[in-house]
Structure 1
Amino acid sequence: MRRSISIGAMLIAGLLASSHVVGLAAPGQRPERTQTSPTVDVELVIAVDVSYSMDLDELAVQREGYAQAIVSKEFLQALRAGPNARISVTYFEWSASSDQRIIIPWRVIDGPETADAVANEIMKAPVRRGSRTSISGAILFAMPLFDEDPYRGFRRVIDISGDGPNNNGPTVTPVRDEALAKGIIINGLPIMVKEPSYSTMDIENLDWYYEDCVIGGPGSFVVTIKDRENFKEAIRTKLLLEVAGRPPEYRVVPIAEKQPRVSCLIGEKTWQDRWGR
């Protein structure tokens, strides 16, 4: 069964129906730092693709989508429903395996004022782009960030967006598995608003690639963006699910139960075939 989520008001309404929210992690699978009482409901790393395959309009809408989602009434309502009614968040942009830049260091969001401050910081940062696409590099960069977070959460989540497969740095599945072994959940936001192009290294079924090769952990999920009109709504839906800690309404299939429908090395192979390096 596919681990993707459709976008709509029904999903958001259902998400917010509960007045009490618990973590997604099953018994024995919570983050290692349980000796300290959690002070936030989730530690959230937002990892945003800024590779050249993303055009300037997409980069702008992506920025606006995260900023607007964080200050939305739905997001703040989900925030208030948590046991601690606050989260910690950091936001960085990535492209190649050696190209990651933190835009927002760890911040606590606990209401409208702190949400506004984070949203404003996101929008003020200069827009930039980078070469290549290294999802593995983004995950490797994200993992030690949790050790730098002064807050402790019930869950540790990497929220990773991108419009293409890994084509630089280590292969993605071993890095994904390393993160899962640390109790980190990885969710995905595959961006599929353009037709696959030879020049941009796009692939068909990028959502399958994210489902089978990138995401993982208890309750992990993919929200797919297939048209520009739903870009911001998709980002908001994804953040709502992550903050509220509600598992999606379908059975999550463990990685070991099935073979990937898209080769997890498709990005590396395509790059080698086209550029010979």
Structure 2
Amino acid sequence: MFRVLVLILAFVANPSRAAAAPPDVDLELVLAVDTSGSIDIGEARVQRLGYLETLRHPDFINAVKSGYLGRIAIGYFEWGGKVNESSVVAWQVIEDAKDAEAFAAKLEARPIATRHGTSISSAIRFGTRLIETNAYFGARRILDLSGDGFNNTGLPIAVARNDALARGIVINGLVILIRPTVSTVPLERYYAECVIGGPGSFMIPVRNVEDFASAVRQKLLLEVGGLTPSLTAQPAAMHAPVDCRVGEKYPSFVEPAFRN
């Protein structure tokens, strides 16, 4: 019964590939990490350390092994006004602690740098390409995106987000609120309504530097385990939908739509 459910989920996420073969990994997971100029070097280091500690933690390995196939495919990159392609850690299958350590070692060896601008749309587009063109077929596909600001360069966020969701890619968010951006729209609402999306999507806020590691671990464990955070009931609020164009400065060119 569980195998049938895995195949159904894979077909819903990517029907064209599902027709060719069954999944070979439980999850295709891309970590898209914000290193824009508003993230200082100290915060970037703490953020990197959070991912390294999670990859090396026994709970992460146990979550991987708990899947039906017991393996995931994972990739990583950093972004600011555009994607830092030198930061890319290529796809790797993780089945055990040795695999996770190998991936963590590659990430640890990458230099840390920050860049000007915040293009969430470029990060989503790049992550979409990585998922669509890799050599693996996952029952689930997730783009895990951290960020501390609004999309302010590149394509409109709605264009990139809608394209990813149409391809069956779930977008989750790690919202960095250590130095909140001054705006008429709370960043958490912006991420909730304009960035994350897809079945079971969620975001986790980080309000203090010392919370990075635990937030990253919680997020990856939920994603690998196919879970979502428990929800706390809140009073309904009457407010207009977020204008997802807030902060956007449209470029003089229009990037062509991504095609397979």
The 10-residue stretch of structure 1 (203-212 or 31-40) with the greater mean CA deviation from structure 2: 203-212
Deviation at 1:204, TM superposition (A): 6.0
Deviations 1:28-67 (A, max 9, x none): 6322321311111100011111111001111001111011
Change (3 A) 1:99 1:120: closer
TM, length-normalised to structure 1: 0.79
**Residues in 2 aligned to 1:259 and 1:141: alpha-carbon distance in whole angstroms:** 33
- Tell me if 1:122 matches 2:107: yes
**Residues in 1 aligned to 2:83 and 2:51: alpha-carbon distance in whole angstroms:** 24
Give the equivalent residue in structure 2 for 1:29.
12
Change (3 A) 1:71 1:260: farther
Deviations 1:82-103 (A, max 9, x none): 0011100110011114654443
- Mapped contact 2:148–2:180 kept (Cα < 8 A): no
Helix, strand or coil: the match of 1:167?
Answer: coil
Give the AA of the match of 1:155: R
Give the equivalent residue in structure 2 for 1:11.
none
Deviations 1:247-271 (A, max 9, x none): 33349xxxxxx986433122226xx
Give the equivalent residue in structure 2 for 1:227.
208
- Mapped contact 1:48–1:92 kept (Cα < 8 A): yes
Q: Which of 106, 109, 112 is the equivalent residue of 2:91?
A: 106
Change (3 A) 1:194 1:41: same
Change (3 A) 1:98 1:222: closer
* Number of equivalenced pairs: 240
TM, length-normalised to structure 2: 0.84
- Mapped contact 1:31–1:156 kept (Cα < 8 A): no
Helix, strand or coil: the match of 2:222?
Answer: helix
Helix, strand or coil: the match of 1:129?
Answer: coil
After superposition, residues 113-262 of structure 1 pair within 5 angstroms as 113-196=98-181, 205-250=186-231, 261-262=241-242
Helix, strand or coil: the match of 1:240?
Answer: helix
Change (3 A) 1:86 1:98: closer
Change (3 A) 1:105 1:268: same
Alpha-carbon RMSD across the aligned residues, in angstroms, is 2.6
Helix, strand or coil: the match of 2:53?
Answer: helix
**Residues in 1 aligned to 2:31 and 2:240: alpha-carbon distance in whole angstroms:** 25
Give the AA of the match of 1:238: K
**Residues in 1 aligned to 2:155 and 2:56: alpha-carbon distance in whole angstroms:** 36
Change (3 A) 1:55 1:110: same
Helix, strand or coil: the match of 1:155?
Answer: strand
Change (3 A) 1:26 1:259: farther
**Residues in 2 aligned to 1:37 and 1:244: alpha-carbon distance in whole angstroms:** 19
**Residues in 2 aligned to 1:268 and 1:232: alpha-carbon distance in whole angstroms:** 30
Change (3 A) 1:118 1:82: same
* Structure 1 unmatched ranges of 5 or more: 1-19, 252-257, 270-277
Give the AA of the match of 2:64: L
Deviation at 1:174, TM superposition (A): 2.0
Q: Which of 234, 243, 259 is the equivalent residue of 1:263?
A: 243
